[in-house]
Amino acid sequence: MTSETLQKARDFEAQYGPHIPGAERPAFHVTPTIGWMNDPNGFSVYQGEYHLFYQYHPYSNEWGPMHWGHLKTRDFIRWERLPCALAPDEEYDAAGCFSGGAVELPDGRQLLMYTGVRRARNEDGFLQDVQTQCVAVGDGMDYEKYGLNPILDARDLPEGGSAVDFRDPKVWRGADGNFYAVIGNRTEDGSGAVLLYRGVENWRGEFVRTLDRSHNQYGRMWECPDFFFLDGKQVLFTSPQDMKPIGLEFHAGNGTLCLMGSYDPETGFARERVQAIDYGLDFYAPQTLEAPDGRRIMIAWMQNWDTVGGKPSHCRWFGQMTLPRELSIEDGRLYQRPVRELEAYRRDPVVHRQILVSGEANLPGVQGRMLDMTVTVRPVGHGSYRWFRLHLAKDGQHDTILRYKPEEGILKLDRCRSGLPRDIVHTRSFLVKPRDGEIRLRVILDRFSVEVFVNDGEAAASAVIYTRQEADAITFEADGQVLIDVEKYDLNFDSGREG
Ligand code: FRU
């Protein structure tokens, strides 16, 4: 049954969503049908298609009582919009249907598991969240909330766990046929933890163990966890709030954390390595799925709570997802590459090899705002350059710059002059490792964003830009001398050819 609140959201998006011209959106990055979007939710395979839900407030371009928006795709590039899936229409989720996951049930239905939020007064009289876990079951379009929600509440927490910060279940079906979920929680030391639950009858879950916790080292509350096996390692993702910077690895504020280790059902998760997931400005709350061919694919909110103040004026949608990325672990590091399906949309290759750059230059055929380009930069001899800059989305007033300094091994992403109306955080620097003296930058542009993949996926950095579309020049600049190779493809979505 569709509640009045859900029907209202569906009517609203059907009426106003189509008002947004296609050219005002990215061509292949997910945006909300109308209004506001944050975290990806329920990224999963259902009946042979990939479904994606998202944190959604259709009625304005600000965060508000959370709904779940919904789309699906066959190739991660072309998406079909579906009607709003969940609305805050029950007493237990009246303040919002927060983030969660989805899974296909053995009987062919789809289960959505989310955090239901209501507000209640605490002992000081202040209103605060009560966060519980809830489920809804449906057919890939319409979902019925379970009559006995919530299925997990304060009584299911381990000692010291907070019922105010207990959210973002990511659910999957284990090899043993059981359902499992990881859920973010705040512990008695005020910092985050990830809890593991196992499904029991009637959608209820039993607490298995705490998988890992921050101990105030990697931020405070741990949001949006994910837990999966990849290339011989057990991987735990989480998005911590209030991180402290650690060198160039983690920056202050809302960060992302990839913990790698092993998992033993008897003894739990043993953490071996820690790294950031994305080194750019706009990336948060990633979620993964396992594709039928075994690939682990990740999508994330290409935005960050610390940068949401940088809205363009007149924006009828706000919030984008990253391009879905294939994950792997190589030499103990998390690698990310754009999904290979993107390659089916490449057109008109432009290739330049062994071009000597000294000062600033452009290259014939190399410009645009919707493209897939790889630039390889190598010194002419030892110490031949002090820095190399790749200028993107450039005109007389604007550019977005990637700058590499070989002596420091630092790549800097700078979008100070990329059309954002506020002086929010605009630069981020991170360490990269040259290979045989070379660095390789694969850049994906899609009208309002830049995603960079360094050295075949060793590091990724994402940022939104709002530079006017006419600013489409690309230039190469060196202090000293470098040799570059450039391979550039336009991305074209008009022909109807699918990957
Ligand atoms: C992360 C988050 C989640 C929460 C959701 C609310 O960005 O804060 O923890 O479920 O957003 O929209």
Task: Look at residues 147, 63, 68 and name the one whose alpha carbon lies nearest to residue 101.
Answer: 68
Prediction pTM value: 0.97
Q: Sheet containing 110-121: give its strands across.
A: 96-104, 110-121, 127-138, 143-145
pLDDT band of 314, cuts 50, 70, 90: confident
pLDDT band of 498, cuts 50, 70, 90: very low
In whole angstroms, give the CA distance from residue 184 to residue 194.
5
In whole angstroms, give the CA distance from residue 87 to residue 107.
25
Architecture of domain 346-491: Sandwich (2.60)
Q: For residue 250, what pLDDT is reported?
A: 97
In whole angstroms, give the CA distance from residue 70 to residue 109.
16
Domain boundaries, the chain: 4-341, 346-491
Give yes or no for residue 256 CB within 6 A of ligand 1. no
Q: For residue 330, what pLDDT is reported?
A: 98
Give the pLDDT confidence of 258-280 residue by residue, as tens digits.
Answer: 999 999 999 999 999 999 999 99
* Backbone phi, psi, residue 47, to 5°: 50, 50
Active-site annotation holder among 39, 168, 278, 414 = 39
Give yes or no for residue 187 CB within 6 A of ligand 1. no
Looking at residue 158, what DSSP letter applies? P
Give the pLDDT confidence of 227-245 residue by residue, as tens digits.
Answer: 999 999 999 999 999 999 9
* Tokens 């031949």, located at residue: 384
157-161, 368-372, 420-424, 453-457: least confident range: 420-424
pLDDT exceeds 60 at position 497: no
pLDDT exceeds 50 at position 91: yes
Task: Look at residues 380, 397, 393 and name the one whose alpha carbon lies nearest to residue 479.
Answer: 380
Q: Are 74 and 49 in contact (CB under 8 A)?
A: yes
Identical fold at 4-341 and 346-491?
no
- Secondary-structure class of domain 4-341 per CATH: mainly beta
The percent helix, strand, coil of the chain (3-state, each to 5) is 5, 55, 40
Number of neighbours of residue 267 by Cβ within 10 angstroms = 9
Give yes or no for residue 367 CB within 6 A of ligand 1. no
* Beta-ladder partners of 269: 263
Q: For residue 312, what pLDDT is reported?
A: 87
pLDDT band of 495, cuts 50, 70, 90: low
* Tokens 């160039």, located at residue: 248
**39 belongs to the catalytic site:** yes
Give me ligand 1 centre to Cα 482, in Å: 44
pLDDT band of 442, cuts 50, 70, 90: very high
Give yes or no for residue 223 CB within 6 A of ligand 1. yes
Angle at 478 between CA 473 and CA 479, to 5 degrees: 140
pLDDT exceeds 70 at position 499: no
Specify the 3-state DSSP secondary structure of 24: helix
Give the pLDDT confidence of 47-87 residue by residue, as tens digits.
Answer: 999 999 999 999 999 999 999 999 999 999 999 999 999 99
Q: For residue 1, what pLDDT is reported?
A: 78
pLDDT band of 353, cuts 50, 70, 90: very high
pLDDT band of 494, cuts 50, 70, 90: confident
Q: For residue 292, what pLDDT is reported?
A: 97
The whole-chain average pLDDT of the chain stands at: 96
Query: In a 10 Å sphere around its CB, with 0-12 CB exposed, 13-18 middle and 19+ buried, how is residue 64 labelled?
Result: middle
Pairing of strands 473-491, 67-73: unpaired
pLDDT exceeds 90 at position 391: yes
Tell me the residue type at 496: G
